[in-house]
Structure 1
């Protein structure tokens, strides 16, 4: 394993795609980089996740402005991670009125938002183009515990917390009239699941709840837009397989008294044949294994990742001691 984070060497610019999912719903994807959802109503626009910096968000705004001059009234945060939320300030000049988040997401921003901002940037600098343009943490203006419903000129948009998984504050956006679901990082496709802040035991139950929506199209947190019911099922199955395989390996490692390096090797034997080829796998796996070992050891609430802890973990995996 390299002495630097796998993502530090990832410098290749990704090609973005702005694809229409239904009459009002769009997906902005970038070859395994974080996705952003867009809902264009009759009078306003809603964004699901903001991109990582205002400069990056401006590129999406330019795509939206090719379609409509309606104000971008709402931003929804699917969770608290910096790469998802720190571009929010770019939308203020576009008519932004509300930044919506779950109570759990707000609590995580308070608890660890500043540490996460530094940690994520140092791990994966390419995802934070023009980092200096970020004015600070993004703070929600409208909180909910379980669900709120927005009416965008008659188009019902449900913003809800279906359960814990990627984080304990995960939020999805559901447009029932068009059967489109924006899942955030609760669902991935052809990209590794980052589980450093996850609730792994809960995640499969939350995925089962998402299946009950009957979505015909789904924008995952990373990977291509899923545009048929069969593709939606594939994304849900893929994510469930990744999460359950990882956590099963961690439980086995803890039961056998393995150290972290042994646990990593044990996990790779199960995970590599299925997932080694997908986007950001080498970046995510060390963080995934550490969190999975923690949870299997009884640490229910994820420990805070700091830039210093990141380096300690990474170098520990290089050690031959």
Structure 2
């Protein structure tokens, strides 16, 4: 695929933990919640408007995806998002919503945590755990094959071991009926 003459421009402004910008009369706060969806998540908060842009920390209508981050970190990030007391939530995937979406994402992440803990204790693989799982209220979420990737992350967190990315991708494709992975959320 040809992209033409692409020039890479290095960033002229970076931050580590937080950064406040003023764009006209709009205050824009950026902060890093710690490893969650990934190790480099950024939240954008407009305090006067009470609007938070969560990035992929929040999926509305889709299955959350944490293999490249942290399960515990994702739960901590939700606590930080709640503390903002936002009125409007702009998720990384799905329609704009209200803070009630935090509860749904938290329930899902706790569901994954509990599945992984029980599966690990029983000596089952992430794929065995995911295949046997009753998704219950999460059955209607798009990309349900992400469950096995999330269970892999939970196992790695429990073991303190690195994520086996080839196994994650293989298991997710298998859970997806052998079809390539897609993102529809």
Q: TM-score range by the shorter chain?
A: 0.7 to 0.9
Q: Secondary structure at the match of 1:185?
A: strand
Instruction: Tell me how far 1:316 sits from its aligned partner.
Output: 9.6
Aligned length, in residue pairs: 176
The residue number in structure 2 matching 1:274 is 137
1:265 equivalent to 2:128? Answer no
1:159 equivalent to 2:22? Answer no
Residue 160 of structure 2: which of 285, 298, 311 is its match? 298
The residue number in structure 2 matching 1:248 is 114
Residue-by-residue CA offset, 1:56-88 (whole Å, 9 max, x unaligned): xxxxxxxxxxxxxxxxxxxxxxxxxxxxxxxxx
Counterpart CA distance in 2 for 1:223 and 1:259 is 31
What RMSD over aligned residues (CA atoms) do the two structures have, in Å? 2.8
Q: For residues 188-199 of structure 1, what are the structure 2 equivalents within 5 Å?
A: 188-199=59-70
Q: Secondary structure at the match of 1:151?
A: strand
Where does structure 2 lack aligned partners over 5 or more consecutive residues?
178-185
Please say if residues 37 and 65 of structure 2, whose CA atoms lie closer than 8 Å, have aligned partners that are also in contact.
yes
Q: For residues 105-116 of structure 1, what are the structure 2 equivalents within 5 Å?
A: none
Please say if residues 200 and 295 of structure 1, whose CA atoms lie closer than 8 Å, have aligned partners that are also in contact.
yes
Residue 148 of structure 2: which of 271, 286, 309 is its match? 286
Distance change in 2, residues 1:138/1:250 (3 Å): farther
Counterpart CA distance in 1 for 2:10 and 2:142 is 29
1:310 equivalent to 2:152? Answer no
Please say if residues 64 and 105 of structure 2, whose CA atoms lie closer than 8 Å, have aligned partners that are also in contact.
yes
Where does structure 1 lack aligned partners over 5 or more consecutive residues?
1-130
Residue-by-residue CA offset, 1:7-51 (whole Å, 9 max, x unaligned): xxxxxxxxxxxxxxxxxxxxxxxxxxxxxxxxxxxxxxxxxxxxx
Distance change in 2, residues 1:275/1:216 (3 Å): same
Instruction: Tell me how far 1:180 sits from its aligned partner.
Output: 0.6
Counterpart CA distance in 1 for 2:84 and 2:49 is 12
Counterpart CA distance in 2 for 1:262 and 1:143 is 42
Distance change in 2, residues 1:279/1:259 (3 Å): closer
Q: Secondary structure at the match of 1:198?
A: coil
Residue 216 of structure 1: which of 69, 87, 90 is its match? 87
